A and B are shown apart, each in its own frame.
Chain A
Amino acid sequence: LTELDEVIATADVVVCCGSGGVGKTTTAAALGLQAARNGRRCVVVTIDPAKRLADALGVPGGLTNDPVRLAIDGPGELWALMLDTATTFDGLVVANAANAQQATRILSNPFYRNIAGSLGGTQEYMAAERLLALHLDKRFDLVIVDTPPTRNALDFLDAPKTLARFLDHPVFKLMMMPTRRGLRVLSIAAQPILRSIGKVIGTEVLADALAFFQAFDGMETGFRNRADDVIRLLHGDRTKFVLVASPRIDTIDEAIFFADRLVEKGLAVGAIIVNRATPDFGKPEGKRPRRIADAALFDNQAELHAMAVGEREHIAPLVADTGRQPTWVPLLPGDVHDLEALDEIRSLLFTGSATAQASR
C-alpha cells in the first residue's frame, strides 16, 4: 500500500495544500474519485472560484455551496461543492445569534457584507468552518478539501485564530464598549482613535462598522468555541495533509516551506504529490543519428530526459526534508477538463509508477 492509499483508506479529513497553479483542485477531485471507488462516502470541497473542479467533474451547471452527488462507478459516493464564503458566514451568524432580530441586524449591515466577502482570512476561516460542518455531517465519512490559493496556503490552519484575534482586538473592544456601558449611541467624536480612523475612511463607513460591532455583541463566545473545535479537528490523528507541488523550483520552495510549517505545528505530511512532471522516456539509445529526421527524434527524447532529470533534482530537497517519496503525476498531452481525464489522473496517482513513464 502506498502512502496515498493509506491516506485515502484511513483519514476522515484530507487537506490538500500547495501554491497556486500546481493542480491542487484536480488532485483533490482525483483523490475523492479513488476514495469513492473504494467504497467511501466522500465529499470534495473546492475553494477555487475558477470553477475548475466543476469543469473537471463535468458538472453541467457548475458547483454550488451545497454538495452535489456525482454519478461515478463503484460502491462509494462522491459529492462535491464549491465554498461560498459569504453564505457560510451568514449561516454561522444565524447559528450563533441570540435571536432572529440580532441575525437580521448583522446580515443587513453594510460593514458585515464587506467583511463576509473580504476580511483577510475570512475565506480561509470559512473553509475550515465548512470542513468541520461536513465532518459532522452523517452523509459523509471522508472530507477532502482544497486550500485557498493564497501565497501562504497554511493560513487555513491559523484562520480560526485570526478571527478570534480580531474579536480580541483593542479596537473591537473599544467599539464594543459603549454598548457594554449601556449607551445607545456611540459618538465617533468621543473617541480620538475613532476620529482618526474616520478622517481616513470617512465617517459613514465607520458608522456602519460601529453598528456591526454593536450588533455582534454577545456572539463572540459562540464564534470562539466553534473556532476551537475547528482547530482540534485540524490537529486530529485522522486529519491528513497532502502536499501538492509541481517540479518548478518556486513551487518546490513553497512546498518545503509548507512542510516545515506543518512539522512546526506538530502535523505530519501524509503524502507528497508532484504534478505536471515531464514524462521521462529514458536516455535515447546509441549515437545521435546523422539523418535530420532521426536526429530530431533523438534530440527530443534527450531533451525530455534532461528536463525530467532536472525536475527530480529539484524535488530532492523536499524528499530529504519530509522523508516522503513523492507520487509523480506526469504532464498529460492534453488538459484535464472532463471526468475521463480526471479518472486518468486518478489511475496515475494510485497505480502509476513513481518514475512517471506514462504517456498517452
Chain B
Amino acid sequence: VNPLQFLTDARVAIVAGKGGVGKTTVTAVLARAAIAQGLRVLVVELDGKPALAALVGPDIPCLALTPAAALAEYLETHGLGRVAKRLATSGVIEVVATAAPGIDDIVVLGKIKQLEQSGEYDLIVVDGPAAGHAITFLMAPVNLLKLVRGGPIHSQATDVAGLLSDPSRSQVILVTLPETTPVNEAIETAEALKQDGGLRLGPVVVNAFDAGDDLPVDHAAAGTPLRAAAEFRNARRALHRRESKRLAETLDRPHICLPLITEAALDTNSIERLAAELGARS
C-alpha cells in the first residue's frame, strides 16, 4: 500500500489547524512528498507567510492569495470590470465584505476552484487561514448561501460549496500536536466540519511526535541530570503516545505522525527529510 495514496484522493488539500501546530510545516512536507511522487503541485498560501515559499523550494510554484486581489479578478472575469475598478478605488471592499460576511473567503475559495478546474495541477495544497479561522473559512459557502439569495456571489458560493462537499475533489487535512488541548481542539474542529459543512476529512496529521522507546532511567543514578533528562523525555513521549492514541480512537480517520525535529532550525533539509519519511512509511 502506498502511504501517500491519500495525496491523489482529491485535487485540493486544505491544511487546517489552530495556531502553532505547524500547518505551514505540514503544507511544505505534503508538497515535497507529492512532487517526489511525480505530481504537478501548487502551493497556495492565504496568510502572508513569506517563509512558506522558501520552505517548499524553488521547484514548486507558491501562490499567495489575498481576498482583495481575488475579488477584483473575479469581478473582472465576470464582466464587472468597471465595478472592480470602482470598488478598488473607493476602498469599498471592506464594506462589501461586511455586508456579506464570508464573501472574501468565497472569492478566495473560488480562485482555488478555478485553479483546480484548470487541470494544470494534480495537487493544490492550501495552507489554511490564520489560527481559529479554519471553520469560518471552510463554512463560508454554506453560511453565505443562507444570506445571499441571488447574483454572481450566490453562484460562486454554490460552486465553491460543490468543490468542498465533493470528496473526489477536495479534502481537509487537519494538523494537531500530540498534547491534550490541541487534540481536544482537533476533535472539535473535525466534528464541526463533518456535521455542519459536509466536508471530507482526509488523514489527520500529528505533528512533532516524539517517537522512540522509553529510556532506561534506572541506569542513571537518582538526582543526576542524566536521570532528570531521561525522566523528562519519557514523560513527554508517554504524553505523545497517550494523546495520539486518544485522537486515533476518537476520530475515525487515518493518522499520520510527523516526527519531532530536534535540530534548532526548520529548513528545507528538514522538510525534505520529513517528506521522505512520510513516503517511506507503510
Q: Which residues of A contact B (CB under 8 A)?
A: 19-22, 49-50, 52, 55, 110-111, 114-115, 117-120, 149-151, 166, 169-172, 193, 196-197, 199-202, 204-206, 208-209, 246, 248-251, 253, 279, 281-282, 284-285, 291, 293-294, 296-298, 300-301, 303-304, 306-307, 309-311, 313-314, 331, 333-335, 337, 359-360
Contact = CB atoms under 8 A, between A and B. Distances in A.
B103 interface: yes
Given A20-B18, A50-B18, A196-B83, A337 B180 contact: yes
Contacts of B98: 111, 114-115, 118-120, 209
Given A20-B18, A297-B216, A333-B235, A166 B152 contact: no
Leading 5 A-B pairs by shortest Cβ distance: A21-B20, A20-B19, A310-B264, A333-B235, A20-B131
A150 B47 CA distance: 10
B39 interface: no
Contact of B232 (A110, A120, A279): A279
Contact of A169 (B95, B229, B235): B95
Interface string B137-171: 00000000001111111100000000000000000
24 contacts: A19-B20, A20-B18, A20-B19, A20-B130, A22-B20, A50-B181, A118-B136, A166-B94, A171-B95, A201-B96, A201-B148, A202-B149, A202-B153, A248-B266, A250-B24, A297-B219, A297-B227, A300-B229, A301-B229, A304-B233, A306-B264, A334-B235, A335-B180, A359-B232
A338 B26 CA distance: 30
B211 interface: no
Secondary structure of the B side of the interface?
Answer: helix
A120 B86 contact: no
Nearest to A25: B181
B236 A209 contact: no
Interface residues of B, number: 65
Contacts of B94: 120, 166, 169
Contacts of A169: 91-92, 94-95
Given A201-B96, A201-B153, A301-B226, A249 B19 contact: no
B5 interface: no
Nearest to B152: A200
Nearest to A308: B264
A249 B266 contact: yes
B86 A359 contact: no
Contacts of B87: 196-197
A114 B264 contact: no
Given A20-B20, A301-B230, 15 more contacts: A21-B18, A22-B20, A111-B99, A171-B92, A196-B86, A197-B87, A202-B100, A202-B151, A205-B99, A250-B24, A284-B226, A285-B226, A300-B230, A314-B264, A335-B179
B149 A331 contact: no
B36 interface: no
A21 B130 CA distance: 11
Contacts of B233: 300, 304
B83 A200 contact: yes
B282 interface: no
B83 A199 contact: yes
B131 A149 contact: yes
Contacts of A201: 96, 99-100, 103, 148, 151, 153
Interface string B212-243: 00011101100001111111110110010000
Interface in B48-72: 48, 51
B205 to A, nearest CB: 15
A360 B86 contact: no
Contacts of A281: 225-226, 228-229, 232
B252 interface: no
B262 A200 contact: no
B249 interface: no
B3 interface: no
Contacts of A307: 262-264
B235 A149 contact: no
A337 B100 CA distance: 38
Nearest to B71: A200
A151 to B, nearest CB: 5
B20 to A, nearest CB: 2
Nearest to A301: B229
Contacts of A205: 99-100, 147-148
A298 B216 CA distance: 11
B97 interface: yes
B19 A200 contact: no
A331 B75 CA distance: 49
Contacts of B97: 120
A296 B216 contact: yes
Contact of B181 (A52, A166, A193, A197): A52
Given A19-B20, A21-B19, A114 B226 contact: no
B236 A149 contact: no
